[in-house]
Amino acid sequence: MANILPEIIYMTMNPYDFYVRMPPHSTLVVNYLSTGDSTSIDNFASTEEATLITFAITGANDKIFCILFDNAKGTNTNFVSELIDPKKYTTEYSQLVKLIKEIDEVIAVKIAGGGVYSTTINNKTLVSETLTNLENMRIRYIKRANSLWASMNDQPVNGNGKPFKSVTVFRDPNYPNRWGTR
């Protein structure tokens, strides 16, 4: 028996209705890996039938472990499918890009010698944050944005395809043996 679900299912809405072509005399058990919930659908008829299954996830993606039992032969097949909600990826990505731009503005004012003693980013007040702290926050957000970008473009998270390539290393002239990021 072959996999009756595709490897990747893009959910255009959540919950998402999907028709599965169930082989005759079979049972499909679907287990969500993130929650441990499971559901099963049966086809006890002697012909193939299209059966509706509804997928619902809370995050941007989830893997499902499936077992297809052939009740007539007494055999089974295991396979994994991935459920992806692309809207949740793009929403988080756009929020991260906005945060990175706001942190860049604060860093630019701080470097220019402006008197930024406090600013509010995403309902969080940064009171006289040091440049190092701001740069570390920026690096964390860039890494998360790069991993989301890679996930959205079917690329490895640590591979090429990073849209932000702007983490540059400078030497601080006041501390010749210490390197920092700017």
Rounded distance between C-alpha atoms, residue 67 and residue 139, angstroms: 41
Q: Is residue 3 part of a domain?
A: no
CA triple 64-65-67, angle to 5 deg: 135
Mean per-residue pLDDT for 6-35? 91
More confident: 106 or 128: 106
Report the percentage of the chain scoring pLDDT > 70: 77
Number of domains in the chain: 2
Work out the pLDDT band at 126, boundaries 50, 70, 90: low
How confident is the model at residue 157, as a pLDDT? 61
How confident is the model at residue 182, as a pLDDT? 44
How confident is the model at residue 79, as a pLDDT? 92
The answer to pTM > 0.75 is no
> What's the domain range around 117?
87-181
Please check whether residue 102 is in contact with residue 96, taking contact to mean a CB–CB distance below 8 angstroms: no
How confident is the model at residue 123, as a pLDDT? 73
Same domain, 173 and 102: yes
Interval 36-77: pLDDT, tens: 899 999 999 999 999 999 999 888 888 999 999 998 898 999
Same domain, 97 and 27: no
Same domain, 60 and 146: no
* Residue in this structure with the two tokens 């297809």, named with its chain if needed: 68
